Structure 1
Amino acid sequence: MSDSSPRTDVKRRRFIKAAGVTGVTALLSGCGGDSGGGTETDGSDNTDTAGGDGGTTTDTMTAESFTLEYVDVDGDRAKEHFAPVIDELNGEYDTDISLNFREIPYGNMRQQLLTRVGGGNAPDVAAIDQIWLGSFYESGELMSFSDMKDAVNFDDYFAGFKPAVQQEGDLVGFPITTDVRGMYWHKNMVDEAGFDPESPPETWSEFYELGKQVHNPPETYGTGVIVASGIWSVPLFSAGGQFLSSDGSTPRFNSEDGVQAASFYDAIYNTEDFGPQEPIFGDHNMPREFIGGTYATTPVYGSWLDFFARQEGMSNEEIKQQFGFGLTPHPEGGQPATMNGGFAWAAFNTTDRPDIVRDFMTRISTQEFNRKIARVTGRIPTRQSLLDASDVWENILWSETIKDMLEYGGTRPVSNWSTVSSVLNPELQRVAFDRAEPQTALENAAQKFRNQV
């Protein structure tokens, strides 16, 4: 992601003394082949004991054996979650099937997978961040599952997840679990300011009023929000806007709705002025700063914030007692909105055993397996039929609120998303740093997009 912003721009309303905005790269270069920085956890899965002389041989791929390589993000799902599926496959095929489960840190994962795909050494199956699917689809190496929609009851997925896994009408993945973006606030700060600590403001004007009341710099700022295209999706959706045309070829973010959405950043950091003096962007420690009380609210953040709170030693009970969570406020005349993230299972058509891989994908994409994965990981399920599955939701904070939010979910476009983010990020930062009007900034981003696509 490119987060660079020109240093020569003159501020419109006030001067911010800053060292300058530097580019931040979230993805590190990875190695191809099997080294890749991932952690192999397959142990001796591929070791067979030969008869007769009592010797031992190791086969990774023979006519009678197949090792399915699966790649996932570090620290989310685990090999043992898939062991029963491998056992089922072994009962169906006259082949000794084993699982090579690999984990890669999130920051390295996209580049490592793209390097392997480009080198003809793709894994069989991977859990891929939905916003990366467009890049892999363009490689021509993703397996199609359009003929499996009925087998996995594709209609059961929430509508907000479907566009990301369907490219040009072709089904190329299955949503696993998700997250939502909403507003967090410190209940005690909101209460002391005379507002309801159990309910967030619904409109931007109400949010601005709250933010200014709790703004007490430099101890506490009224709000903290990251300036980035992904975060900006929620104001954009709530204003009725979209990033691109349906085919992903034409910018739509520079519409009147987009200009209204960009004014959200302008208000927080400039016209209403209740954010920190330096706008937040790039790789920032904002979650822990919010938890520590630097910001009274944060209007667009992912539902994984509880992970950081637990790292600070807080229990679920303490988290819910101290913080509130709900929908991000929307503009007057706008609509409630959130943005769904999460990973999707995808497979590569370079596999030696497409029959086994397709069977594996069918089994892990069923409603029951989605239920299991959501339950053991504590992640939000992607299927409507699991809204009433109490065992899934018992470990998810603000579960009833999140269930309601799923109905308002939208996703970022996966086609040309890397280009969208690279042109939008610096222009949104210029708005936040008071160096460009929202309309001018978005028109600049739209022109850069047209020049690159």
Structure 2
Amino acid sequence: MKRFGLLIMLLIMGSLLAACSDDEKADAPTDGKLEGEITVWAHPFTGGGEPEAKMWDEIIASYEKETGVKVKFEQIPWANRDQKVLTALAANNGPDVFYAIPDQMPQYADVGMLLELDPYLKDNDMDDFVESSLVSTKWKGKTYGLPILQEAYTFFYNKEIIEAIGEDPEKLPATWDEFEAWAKKAKEKGFYALSYQGGGSMNGTLYPYLWQAGGDILTEDNEVLINNEAGVEAFEFINDLYQNKYIPEDSITAMQHDELWDSGKIMAVLGSGISLSNLLAKDNIEFVIAPPLKNKEQVTYGTTGMFVVPSNSDNKAAAAEFVKVMTNSENQKRFNTVTQYIPTRESAKDIFDGQEYLSQLASYTQYALPGVIHPKGRTIMPFIQAEIQAMMAGEKTPKEAADAAAEAIEAELKK
């Protein structure tokens, strides 16, 4: 699979270079009338059905009416999406617009696969976007996408457990120290303080605490920061949670703790909109949602979804305009009302007015970072995870684990 991936990348580079040499002026916006047709690829965001189909019809109609350009819309599955996009673009028969997530964008942009959108955005109201939503759309100082959705992960607390430990559900922990004080009380009463899914993504385990400590993992210039003072502090925080038995015994490799949470054995879980949907559907736990924790910084994880334009699109100006129309306030309201994600434009967040919990989560996207924005962001995760697991198992100190993670990242960057 690795050789196949490399081959695809080489094919893409060849086709992109050929496209650029054929028409150097193709990347510049046109001042004339837009025309022709574009192809748009997106995924099912709700499992399909009539509401989602109607949403796309309305969004596409708004674009076609405004520009006169026809849209050929194709919904592609999430499975094998990378291979499908890469293969299509290498063969020069891919879409003009497609949906991308934060760990895809820098991979594609770094090899020249994406169109820089900055020249097309002069008339676009960029100040209306939540600042954090634009983080994942930029690489090396250039904009390659516009965001359509965000999430914000934060702690959901079991209200009954809060009361059992003698605390007030209206005065939730705001800092690491306050949370650890609650964690100690929870343990004394026979509860776990938190679900820690050590077998899952670093976005939901290490990274939020590392950012809260004022640290980072890796810069776009390949400076590895994970083992600096802030990084070690985050490793220590996680290690303390485990060694003090504030989190379940299987937290080293656990993928979920649904049974423990559902049975009222865990005080808090890190969750987002899907967690809210599940809680409301089950209706078996009375809960409250807290703002993201703060140590030196108040920050959390939250993915961002965006639309991008391949650099070998045959209709760049029309494609860029679709991305702008797709992410304007009106269409963000359409899209996120149906999908129940959080809009990335402040002016579109009023769709959640009157919805207590979604409105609360929407207010937290200002604190949400989308992960490691780097071409190697996805590939370095297993190395970091292995070191965290070794630390929790008692095989390494937090400093040793952080240093080993840094060494593994540096080795990967040299490949």
Q: In which range does the TM-score fall when normalised by the shorter chain?
A: 0.7 to 0.9
Q: Residue 227 of structure 2 is aligned with which of 245, 248, 254? A: 254
Q: Quick check: 259-268 or 130-139, which moved more?
A: 130-139
Cα 1:287–1:280 shift into 2, 3 Å: farther
In the alignment, the residues of structure 2 paired with residue 92 and residue 230 of structure 1 have an alpha-carbon distance, to the nearest angstrom, of 39
Aligned partner of 1:359 in structure 2 is 321
Pairwise CA distance, 1:130: 1.9
Q: Residue 130 of structure 2 is aligned with which of 155, 158, 162? A: 158
CA contact (8 A) 1:73 1:109 kept: no
Pairwise CA distance, 1:120: 4.0
Deviation by residue 1:299-350 (Cα, 9 ceiling, x = unmatched)? x3334211322453x3xxx76xx1111134334xx23222231211112233
The number of residue pairs the alignment matches comes to 374
CA contact (8 A) 1:72 1:126 kept: no
Aligned partner of 2:11 in structure 1 is none
In the alignment, the residues of structure 2 paired with residue 359 and residue 100 of structure 1 have an alpha-carbon distance, to the nearest angstrom, of 15
Aligned partner of 1:100 in structure 2 is 73
Q: Quick check: 195-204 or 77-86, which moved more?
A: 77-86
In the alignment, the residues of structure 1 paired with residue 107 and residue 405 of structure 2 have an alpha-carbon distance, to the nearest angstrom, of 21
Q: Residue 84 of structure 1 is aligned with which of 14, 39, 58? A: 58
In the alignment, the residues of structure 1 paired with residue 193 and residue 141 of structure 2 have an alpha-carbon distance, to the nearest angstrom, of 44
Cα 1:394–1:126 shift into 2, 3 Å: farther
CA contact (8 A) 1:241 1:258 kept: yes
Cα 1:292–1:393 shift into 2, 3 Å: farther
Aligned partner of 1:263 in structure 2 is 236
In the alignment, the residues of structure 2 paired with residue 306 and residue 373 of structure 1 have an alpha-carbon distance, to the nearest angstrom, of 19
Q: TM-score, normalised by structure 2?
A: 0.80
Deviation by residue 1:404-423 (Cα, 9 ceiling, x = unmatched)? x2333333232121233232
Q: Residue 173 of structure 2 is aligned with which of 201, 211, 218? A: 201
Q: Residue 212 of structure 1 is aligned with which of 184, 209, 218? A: 184
Aligned partner of 1:304 in structure 2 is 274
User: Residue 192 of structure 2 aligns to a residue in which SS?
Assistant: coil
Pairwise CA distance, 1:90: 4.2
CA contact (8 A) 1:179 1:340 kept: yes
User: Residue 103 of structure 2 aligns to a residue in which SS?
Assistant: helix
CA contact (8 A) 1:266 1:431 kept: yes
Q: Partner letter of residue 285 of structure 1?
A: Q
Q: Partner letter of residue 242 of structure 2?
A: Y
Q: TM-score, normalised by structure 1?
A: 0.74
User: Can you give the 5+ residue segments of structure 1 that lack an aligned partner in the other structure?
Assistant: 1-28, 33-63
Pairwise CA distance, 1:361: 1.6
Q: Quick check: 109-118 or 145-154, which moved more?
A: 109-118
In the alignment, the residues of structure 1 paired with residue 53 and residue 158 of structure 2 have an alpha-carbon distance, to the nearest angstrom, of 38
Cα 1:344–1:166 shift into 2, 3 Å: same
- What does residue range 23-62 of structure 1 map to in structure 2 within 5 Å? none
Pairwise CA distance, 1:395: 4.1
Cα 1:423–1:243 shift into 2, 3 Å: same
Matched, 1:237 2:196: no
Aligned partner of 1:56 in structure 2 is none
Matched, 1:329 2:300: no
Aligned partner of 1:407 in structure 2 is 366
Q: Quick check: 376-385 or 339-348, which moved more?
A: 376-385
CA contact (8 A) 2:388 2:401 kept: yes
Q: Residue 381 of structure 1 is aligned with which of 334, 343, 346? A: 343
In the alignment, the residues of structure 2 paired with residue 80 and residue 239 of structure 1 have an alpha-carbon distance, to the nearest angstrom, of 44
Cα 1:291–1:380 shift into 2, 3 Å: farther
Aligned partner of 1:57 in structure 2 is none
Cα 1:386–1:65 shift into 2, 3 Å: closer
Q: Partner letter of residue 233 of structure 1?
A: Y
Cα 1:384–1:124 shift into 2, 3 Å: same
User: Residue 193 of structure 2 aligns to a residue in which SS?
Assistant: coil
Q: Partner letter of residue 124 of structure 1?
A: D
User: Residue 372 of structure 2 aligns to a residue in which SS?
Assistant: coil
Aligned partner of 2:330 in structure 1 is 368
In the alignment, the residues of structure 2 paired with residue 275 and residue 93 of structure 1 have an alpha-carbon distance, to the nearest angstrom, of 55
In the alignment, the residues of structure 1 paired with residue 87 and residue 58 of structure 2 have an alpha-carbon distance, to the nearest angstrom, of 31
User: Residue 248 of structure 2 aligns to a residue in which SS?
Assistant: coil
In the alignment, the residues of structure 1 paired with residue 358 and residue 259 of structure 2 have an alpha-carbon distance, to the nearest angstrom, of 19
In the alignment, the residues of structure 1 paired with residue 331 and residue 101 of structure 2 have an alpha-carbon distance, to the nearest angstrom, of 19
Pairwise CA distance, 1:147: 1.5
User: Residue 399 of structure 2 aligns to a residue in which SS?
Assistant: helix
Cα 1:362–1:408 shift into 2, 3 Å: closer
Deviation by residue 1:114-168 (Cα, 9 ceiling, x = unmatched)? 4444454432222211222112213422122112323321222222122210111
> RMSD in angstroms over aligned alpha carbons?
2.9
CA contact (8 A) 2:88 2:94 kept: yes
In the alignment, the residues of structure 2 paired with residue 212 and residue 94 of structure 1 have an alpha-carbon distance, to the nearest angstrom, of 63
CA contact (8 A) 1:291 1:309 kept: no
In the alignment, the residues of structure 1 paired with residue 388 and residue 115 of structure 2 have an alpha-carbon distance, to the nearest angstrom, of 36
CA contact (8 A) 2:159 2:169 kept: yes
Pairwise CA distance, 1:289: 4.4
Aligned partner of 2:120 in structure 1 is 148
Pairwise CA distance, 1:441: 0.8
Cα 1:239–1:172 shift into 2, 3 Å: same
Percent identity of equivalent pairs: 18
Which protein is richer in helix relative to its size? Answer: 2
CA contact (8 A) 1:222 1:296 kept: yes
